[in-house]
Amino acid sequence: MMIEQLKRQAAAMALTQVQPGMRLGLGTGSTARHFVDLLGEQVAAGFDCICVPTSEATARQAAGLNIPLSDLDTLDRLDITIDGADEIDPHLNLIKGGGGALLREKIVAAASDLMIVIADSSKLVETLGQFPLPIEVNRFGLGATRRSVAAVCASHGCAGELRLRQADAGGDYLTDGGHLILDAFFGRILQPEALSADLLNIAGVVQHGLFLNMCKKAYVAAPDGVRTLS
């Protein structure tokens, strides 16, 4: 089965959790894109909801589908955020941010009563860290921040490099918030909570892509069906 079909099946399962009138967080990435697409079909048929997008890309897609949009200045809480992930461990801890939207994704998930992750089964791992961990940093003081991040990562067993993300068109990749991303190649992250705290302790670090104890449900699609993890 094609991977896009699997992503869509996971997205369709998440849609079954959405009730009329809900306030939703809309994730970013190719799997979240399927969810927004399916939600757009429902909205076109008269379904009522209000949504906060986690990126400019998702905002554009949702606006194109006439999905009503708002923000977290207007809405203080959301019912459910539906988002993708780059890695999902057995405790539903995640690495996110492959698409560069980790900061807004984390803010929106933190403002939601429930975070549901949708993914194909290739995202399941025993231990986080095969996927490079995105670390969003301020451009000011990049050299100093990069050295501090490298030292923290090394103290957590990161043997690989720390790479400044580049845009497809060339030049430094910029997040929607105008920040840079360092991708850290760990292999295995054995103490994610401690790593999270140590990274957030660095002044120039804006946020990182470890989503710990945030996701309470995941729909994971494989060729033999969609599994619910919780």
**Which of the residues are catalytic?**
105
Check residue 105 for interaction with ligand 5RP (CB under 6 A).
yes
**Which window, 99-107, 144-152, 172-180, 196-204, contacts ligand 5RP (CB under 6 A)?**
99-107
The two three-digit tokens of residue 142, written as one number: 């990049």
Instruction: Indicate which single residue of 102, 109, 184, 195 sits in contact with ligand 5RP (rule: CB under 6 A).
Output: 102
Say whether residue 132 binds ligand 5RP (CB under 6 A).
no
User: Which of 23, 96, 165, 179 lies at the binding interface for ligand 5RP (CB under 6 A)?
Assistant: 96
Q: Least Å distance between CB 97 and ligand 5RP?
A: 5
Position 25 contacts ligand 5RP (CB under 6 A): no
The site map against ligand 5RP for 65-84 (x = CB under 6 A) is ------------------xx
Question: Does 5 contact ligand 5RP by CB under 6 A?
Answer: no
Please state, in angstroms and rounded to a whole number, the distance separating the CA atoms of residues 135 and 165: 10
The reply to whether 204 sits near ligand 5RP by the rule CB under 6 A is no
- Measured at the CA of 137, the angle between CA 184 and CA 73, to 5 degrees, comes to 125
Please select the residue that binds ligand 5RP; options are 86, 136, 183, 198, rule is CB under 6 A. Answer: 86
HEC profile of the chain: CCHHHHHHHHHHHHHCCCCCCEEEEECCCHHHHHHHHHHHHHHHCCCCEEEEECCHHHHHHHHHCCCCECCCCCCCCEEEEEECCCEECCCCCEECCCCCCHHHHHHHHHCEEEEEEEEEHHHECCCCCCCCEEEEECCCCHHHHHHHHHHHHHHCCCCCCEEECECCCCCECCCCCCCEEEEECCCCCCCHHHHHHHHHCCCCEEEECEECCCCCEEEEEECCEEEEEC
The span of 13-21, 93-101, 152-160, 198-206 binding ligand 5RP (CB under 6 A) equals: 93-101
Rule CB under 6 A: is residue 99 a binding residue for ligand 5RP? yes
Piece in contact with ligand 5RP (CB under 6 A), picked from 95-103, 172-180, 212-220, 221-229: 95-103
Q: What residues line the site for ligand 5RP (CB under 6 A)?
A: 27-32, 83-86, 96-102, 105
